[in-house]
Amino acid sequence: MGDDENRTARPMLTLRGVFAGSVLVVAGIVAAVGYVALDGTQRTILEAAQQQRAAGAEHVAIGVRNELERAERALRELEAPIAAGAFDIGDPRVVEAALFAQVAADSRIAEATFTGARRTSFGPDGMSVLEPAGRFQVSVLRQGLGGAERIVTRRLTMEAGAFVLDVRERPPGSTLFEAAFARGDAPPDPTLHLTFATTASQRFHLRAIWSDLQWAEADLALPSESRRIEVTVQKAVETSGGELLGVVRVGMFTEEVDAIVRRHEGVSDAHRVFLFDDEGRLVTRLGDADRLTVQGDDLRIAPATLPEEIARALATKEAHALTQDGMRTTVAFDVGGRRYLGTFQALMRPTHWNVGVVVPEDAYTGELSRQRRRAIVVFAAVLALIAAIGLVTMRAIRRGLAEIVDGTGRVRAFDFAARRSTSPFRDVQEAMDGLERAKTVLRAIGKYVPISLVRQLFEANEEPALGGEPARIAMMFTDIEGFTSLSEVLPPTALAKALGAYLEAMTDAVEENEGTVDKFIGDAVMAIWNAPKTCTSPARKACEGVLRCLERTRDLYASDAWKGLAPMITRYGVHEDDVLVGHFGAPTRFSYTALGDGVNLAARLEGLCKQYGVITLVSEVVAKQVKDDHLLRHVDRVAVKGKSRAVEVYELIGRRGEEDAREAFIEPYERALDRYFARDFAGALAIVAPMTGDPPSVVLAKRCQSLVEVPPPESWDGVFVAKSK
């Protein structure tokens, strides 16, 4: 094997490849060293960030616990003297004074309540069995906001075996007993409320129980959007001998809990801090527009806009895995291509809530990323300096190659528009000249055959071959009435210009309705639908094509381009059938067209238009498909020239809903035609004879007159045999 053959057989290196490979090796070494250094730094930053989130979650947890401890402290201050018998709980004024002192001392206390009752025993279900007499309840509630705030006492006592309600509403700034009681609506038994029944049960014996979020009792009469939210803590009070005295309940507004979360969130705009429950529902607001809704048996936050990162965090399994007080988990996830880090901590005591902290990773690593980008910029500058000489040498070559690639890409995209080459290289110019010559040929081919066919052949990268395939298509044939006479009076140049404008309008109308102009036969047009480009409802598209042709040519005749010329009358024939569609002709000269009886019938229908004096005739096959949205008239039963089988032919008048003077002739004409087919020629004649302004009626009247004078044989079936095309 010679040297030339060896050179051809082995892989060949290029200057560009060698240069690019060298640059990549150097870049890879530098990048590896930089990655190792930056990756270690990032790990250190993220470990410190995790500790920061944990500290933040713990800080919020402590703040929430301390806030709720205010209610527990008030509870203990009420429980201790009651259990020790320090004051007479049988005196409602004494109880009211103790409760009033707690509510007045702390503006965040929403209510203080004592429900008195005596227990006889525990039932089988562990619930307290109470003595029927001696039950009562005293509640001191904080109502109103700001300067309108007042402290209200609600006292429930038994009279004659039923509970009665007395309400003392103090004006702002009033003393304990300044206002008098007023009788309110009859209340239910307070010992049936869950805050009493559950707290006094054997299961929760002498344990403080916290409720979940609930509407503040003082605000229940207000609309939900105006109500405040509270949580309550309650505990059963017993004597040292185990005798039940009642249940103490203290409620606390939750605004400060929201404030604790928001204050911590404000430390860093990147951190999102929130409280949520074991089911992943929000307990604190994310924004001022958030509202509370009842979800199941609980009040929960329905945020006006839930950030996607918080929704994603609440959906993680880590957010639902907090089973012990103080338990902490971490999570990482992506939202919209951005990395987020989260920390969750259980706040089991005194509530079953959890603290969540979510922050984008780049809040910690942003500066490192900026340093990385600066390093990359410096590194890129060094590489650019190294590559400068090679790039200067290859730039012009790449530009020339890019021009060739762009040109071939445009051809593949079926863009045959001419473009001039700007490359200074002769080799590129020669390649582009060859490409332009090929595009010129393709543009020329597109003017002689359907452009959709050219596209199919181009995209399939195959040459046409003789033969066709069966296809269901709609066909339209047109012809201009009196065009021969027009050609005799117009100069050739004017005739060519007028015919070009006419055929352009016809072609545009056909293509607007997904049709393909198969060929021009002088002034005649053959168009097909559903080949070579498929379409739905080809018969309907063909009828719309006819109507659009009429509109386009009408606009043409009214334009300045047709000035001085009389409008031409074009007749149309439309049929749908199974025919052969493909390439037909000689091995060296093809024509893409359709062949078959259906094609001949469509052409004959156009010829029949003249005999009936109509513009458009369609076959029964087409009429059945378009009758719902097009106006049609049954014209005749015809055996066209060269065919023995009769076809029903219909006149296409227009679209339904559009006014047309011919619509008035449809019903009487079709009624006369039915009589004609029934051999009632005189009856048919009586209907159509007066309709002298309707050409099909005139034709039918003459035919009926002849048959009245010379009746047809018994074998007559109503078929009109056309003698001409």
Neighbours of 190 (CB within 10 A): 23
Boundary (domain end) residue, out of 253, 287, 317: 253
Contacts of 418 (CB under 8 A, 6+ apart): 436, 439, 440
Write the pLDDT tens digit of every residue in 263-281.
776 555 688 888 888 888 8
Tokens of 212: 């979940």
- Angle 362-412/426-448 helices, nearest 10 degrees? 70
Which range, of 116-120, 209-213, 458-462, 604-608, averages the lowest pLDDT? 458-462
Residue carrying structure tokens 């010559």: 437
Domain-embedded: residue 101: yes
Tokens of 389: 């000489």
Residue 697 and residue 613 share a domain: no
Boundary (domain end) residue, out of 229, 253, 277: 253
Looking at residue 2, what is its pLDDT?
47
486 conformational bin, left if phi > 0, alpha if psi -120 to 50, beta if neither: alpha
Residue 206 and residue 101 share a domain: yes
Which range, of 22-26, 162-166, 645-649, averages the lowest pLDDT? 22-26
The percent of residues above 70 in pLDDT, for the chain, comes to 83
Residue 591 and residue 661 share a domain: no
Looking at residue 9, what is its pLDDT?
54
Residue 560 and residue 416 share a domain: no
Contact call for residues 623 and 705 (beta carbons, < 8 A) = no
What span, in angstroms and rounded, lies between the C-alpha atoms of 312 and 333? 8
Contacts of 716 (CB under 8 A, 6+ apart): 679
Amino acid code (one letter) for 405: V
Domain-embedded: residue 505: yes
Residue 439 and residue 483 share a domain: no
Contact call for residues 139 and 92 (beta carbons, < 8 A) = no
Domain housing 241:
87-253
Strand 182-183 to 136-143 pairing: unpaired
Amino acid code (one letter) for 682: A
Residue 551 and residue 482 share a domain: yes
Amino acid code (one letter) for 271: H
Write the pLDDT tens digit of every residue in 373-428.
787 777 777 767 776 765 665 666 666 666 666 767 666 655 666 667 666 767 66
Contact call for residues 360 and 340 (beta carbons, < 8 A) = yes
Looking at residue 439, what is its pLDDT?
60
Three-class DSSP category at 14: coil
Cα distances (Å, whole numbers) of residue 629 to 225, 453, 541, 668: 55, 31, 12, 21
What span, in angstroms and rounded, lies between the C-alpha atoms of 304 and 289? 6
Domain-embedded: residue 149: yes
What span, in angstroms and rounded, lies between the C-alpha atoms of 403 and 34? 38
What span, in angstroms and rounded, lies between the C-alpha atoms of 338 and 333? 8
Domain-embedded: residue 569: yes
Residue carrying structure tokens 């604790």: 260
Residue 105 and residue 142 share a domain: yes
What does the longest C-alpha to C-alpha distance in the chain come to?
Answer: 132
Residue 586 and residue 498 share a domain: yes
Contacts of 452 (CB under 8 A, 6+ apart): 516, 532, 533
CATH number at residue 108: 3.30.450
Neighbours of 82 (CB within 10 A): 20
- Helix segments in 413-476, DSSP class H: 426-448, 451-460
- Whether 125 has a pLDDT exceeding 80, the answer reads yes
Phi and psi torsions of 37, nearest 5°: -70, -45
**DSSP codes of every residue in 618-667:** EEHHHHHHHTTTEEEEEEEEEE-TT--S-EEEEEEEEETTS--TTHHHHH
Contacts of 450 (CB under 8 A, 6+ apart): 516, 517, 518, 532, 592
User: In which band, very low, low, confident or very high, does the pLDDT at 147 lie, cut at 50, 70 and 90?
Assistant: low
Write the pLDDT tens digit of every residue in 635-673.
999 988 766 689 999 999 999 999 888 999 999 999 999
Burial readout 366-379 (b: 16 or more C-beta within 10 A, e: otherwise): eebeeebeeeeeee
Residue 471 and residue 428 share a domain: no
Phi and psi torsions of 288, nearest 5°: -65, -25
Helix, strand counts (H, E) of the chain: 17, 26
The predicted model gives 556-585 an average pLDDT of 92
Which range, of 194-208, 275-289, 567-581, averages the lowest pLDDT? 275-289
Boundary (domain end) residue, out of 448, 483, 504: 448
Write the pLDDT tens digit of every residue in 36-51.
766 778 788 888 888 8
Domain-embedded: residue 30: no
Domain-embedded: residue 581: yes
Residue 621 and residue 665 share a domain: no
> Does an H or E element contain 166, and which?
strand 162-169
CATH number at residue 588: 3.30.70.1230
Tokens of 667: 């019903």
What span, in angstroms and rounded, lies between the C-alpha atoms of 606 and 627? 19
User: In which band, very low, low, confident or very high, does the pLDDT at 1 lie, cut at 50, 70 and 90?
Assistant: very low
Cα distances (Å, whole numbers) of residue 519 to 125, 162, 511: 95, 102, 13
Average pLDDT over the chain, rounded to an integer = 84
Nearest to 615 by CA among 476, 474, 473, 475: 476
Looking at residue 704, what is its pLDDT?
96
E strands along 217-321, which residues? 229-238, 244-253, 272-277, 291-295, 298-302
What is the DSSP secondary structure assignment for residue 530, as one 8-state letter?
Answer: S
Q: Please count the residues of the chain.
A: 725
Looking at residue 432, what is its pLDDT?
66
Domain-embedded: residue 406: yes
Residue carrying structure tokens 């279900």: 125
Looking at residue 382, what is its pLDDT?
72
Contact call for residues 109 and 250 (beta carbons, < 8 A) = yes
Nearest to 387 by CA among 21, 4, 7: 21
- Whether 94 has a pLDDT exceeding 80, the answer reads yes
Residue 544 and residue 397 share a domain: no
Domain-embedded: residue 675: yes
**DSSP codes of every residue in 575-596:** EEEEEEEEEEEETTEEEEEEES
Residue 476 and residue 440 share a domain: no
What span, in angstroms and rounded, lies between the C-alpha atoms of 202 and 84? 21
Number of structural domains found in the chain: 4
